[in-house]
């Protein structure tokens, strides 16, 4: 499985922050002050739009495919955490 994350200025979707993302308590505490991000996750040539707010560890995932939603829910908080750690 190939997964790629691309950040965007705008994904042209109405965002509600009604989806809880999954992250460990350590990751949540570490990323809480980071800026919100939005973009697309490409999973084996399928594009899934998302937006994510680290403050509430919530956002939106724009797909109804349960497997893709699960991947995005777990990978985006880790992406923010790793991106933040690589800057330090």
Tell me the pLDDT tens digit for each residue of 24-83.
999 999 999 999 999 999 999 999 999 999 999 999 999 999 999 999 999 999 999 998
Give the structural domain span for 16. Answer: 3-87
Q: Is 17 left (phi over 0), alpha (psi -120 to 50) or beta?
A: left
Q: What is the pLDDT of residue 86?
A: 72
Confidence of residue 88 (pLDDT cuts 50, 70, 90): low
* 60: helix, strand or coil: strand
Contacts within 8 Å (CB) and 24+ apart, 83-86: 84/30, 84/31, 84/34
pLDDT > 90? residue 85: no
Number of domains the chain is built from: 1
């Amino acid at each position: 499985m190939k997964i790629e994350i691309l950040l965007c200025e705008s994904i042209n979707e109405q965002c509600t922050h009604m989806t809880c993302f999954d992250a460990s308590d350590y990751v949540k505490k570490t990323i809480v002050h980071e800026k919100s991000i939005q973009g697309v996750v490409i999973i084996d040539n399928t594009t899934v739009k998302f937006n994510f707010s680290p403050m509430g560890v919530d956002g939106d995932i724009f797909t109804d495919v349960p497997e893709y939603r699960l991947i995005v829910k777990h990978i985006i908080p880790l992406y923010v955490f790793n991106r933040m750690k690589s800057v330090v």
